[in-house]
């Protein structure tokens, strides 16, 4: 039985971290004010900048605050979660404490009488062969169990080093982005077509790429619509414009809403 909701908000790629307090505060406001106005909230991965295990939340005041905000939200509205590429180690303890329901990637949902396929999106970036190999390995349960047995400070050090390396590579490539780099960092039509063909659907919603848009796409005789959620960043005006949006779906269909100035938002 596919879950059915008359309205929903979908968000992704907030990359919450104590070093981004404005972004975090907007998330707390979202949980308190925006989320409860719909029947379901879907978080499509990368809620956190990184996640090294549920046991890391207990000594972290910041993660405890996030946990409390989600737990309060979950008492008011059904709240769903899909693992991202940065927080795929979010586990059963955190989900239980927050009241969120973990969805598989991909997942099928019925919102306002229309069915959608939901995904984080990283598995659709099939032009990045190296990343797909890495993804296959780090999603192996036995490897995750080994990693989670390491001391917490070791895991934090490894995660910070991986994030630092990724940030350095991204900055270097972004200075003069080549066509090959743009293709590598985006989903491929072939992967999207295969996913939707497998699930016999024509509507896909995902995050990960940060390339917010509503696409009408076609490959051969197959056509579909694709909505890409934005990342959130209200803390770096020197390098990027403040950004935070959600996809709002009700009987009128999907549309993006700006969450930077919620008082000007007439949809919610």
Structural domain boundaries in the chain: 4-264
Q: Once rounded to an integer, what is the mean pLDDT over residues 4-20?
A: 96
Tokens of 16: 């919450």
Provide the pLDDT for residue 161. Answer: 86
Phi-psi region of 260 (alpha: psi -120 to 50; beta: other; left: phi over 0): alpha
d(C-alpha 64, C-alpha 254), whole Å = 32
DSSP line for the chain: ---EES-EEEE----B-TT-HHHHHHHHHIIIIIGGGSSEEEE-S--BS----GGGTTT-HHHHHHHHHHHHHHTTSEEEE---SS-TT--HHHHHHHT-EE--SSEEEEETTEEEEEE-SGGG-TT-HHHHHHHHHHT-HHHHHHHHTS-HHHHHHHHHHHHHHHHHHHHHHHHS--HHHHHHTS--HHHHHHHHHHTT-SEEEE-SS---EEEEEEETTEEEEEEEPPP-BSS-TTTS--B-EEEEEETTEEEEEE-SSGGG-S--
User: What's the mean pLDDT when you consider all of the chain?
Assistant: 91
Which two structure tokens, joined as six digits, stand for 171?
A: 């900055």
4-264: which CATH topology? Purple Acid Phosphatase; chain A, domain 2 (3.60.21)
More confident call, 224 vs 176: 224
Between CA 57 and CA 59 the distance in angstroms is 6
Q: How many CB atoms lie within 10 A of CB 25?
A: 12
User: Does position 59 have pLDDT exceeding 90, yes or no?
Assistant: no
Whether pLDDT at 239 is above 80: no
Q: What is the CA radius of gyration of the chain?
A: 18
- How does pLDDT run across 102-156, given as a tens digit for each residue? 999 999 999 999 999 999 999 999 999 999 999 999 999 999 999 999 999 999 9
CB 196 within 8 Å of CB 218: no
Residue 180 is predicted with a pLDDT of: 74
Model confidence pLDDT, tens digit, residues 193-219: 999 999 999 999 999 999 999 999 999
Lowest mean pLDDT, pick from 100-104, 153-157, 159-163: 159-163
């Amino acid at each position: 039985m596919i879950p059915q909701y008359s309205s929903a908000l979908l968000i992704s790629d907030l990359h919450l971290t104590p070093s981004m307090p404005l972004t975090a505060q907007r998330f707390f406001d979202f949980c308190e004010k925006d989320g409860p106005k719909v029947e379901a909230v879907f978080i499509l991965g990368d809620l956190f900048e990184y996640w090294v295990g549920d046991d890391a939340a207990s000594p972290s005041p910041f993660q405890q605050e996030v946990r409390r905000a989600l737990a309060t939200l979950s008492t008011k509205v059904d709240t769903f979660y899909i693992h991202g590429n940065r927080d795929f180690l979010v586990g059963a303890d955190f989900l239980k404490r927050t009241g969120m329901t973990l969805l598989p990637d991909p997942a099928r949902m019925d919102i306002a009488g229309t069915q959608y396929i939901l995904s984080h999106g990283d598995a659709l970036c099939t032009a990045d062969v190296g990343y797909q190999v890495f993804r296959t390995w780090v999603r192996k349960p036995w490897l995750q169990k080994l990693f989670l047995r390491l001391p917490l400070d070791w895991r934090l050090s490894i995660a910070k080093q991986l994030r630092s390396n990724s940030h350095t590579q991204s900055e270097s490539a972004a200075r003069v982005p080549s066509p090959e780099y743009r293709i590598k960092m985006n989903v491929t039509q072939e992967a999207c077509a295969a996913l939707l063909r497998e699930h016999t659907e024509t509507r896909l919603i995902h995050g990960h790429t940060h390339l917010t848009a509503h696409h009408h796409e076609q490959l051969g005789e197959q056509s579909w619509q694709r909505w890409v959620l934005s990342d959130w960043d209200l803390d770096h005006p020197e390098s990027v414009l403040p950004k935070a949006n959600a996809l709002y779906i009700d009987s009128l269909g999907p549309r993006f809403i700006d969450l930077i100035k919620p008082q000007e938002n007439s949809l919610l």
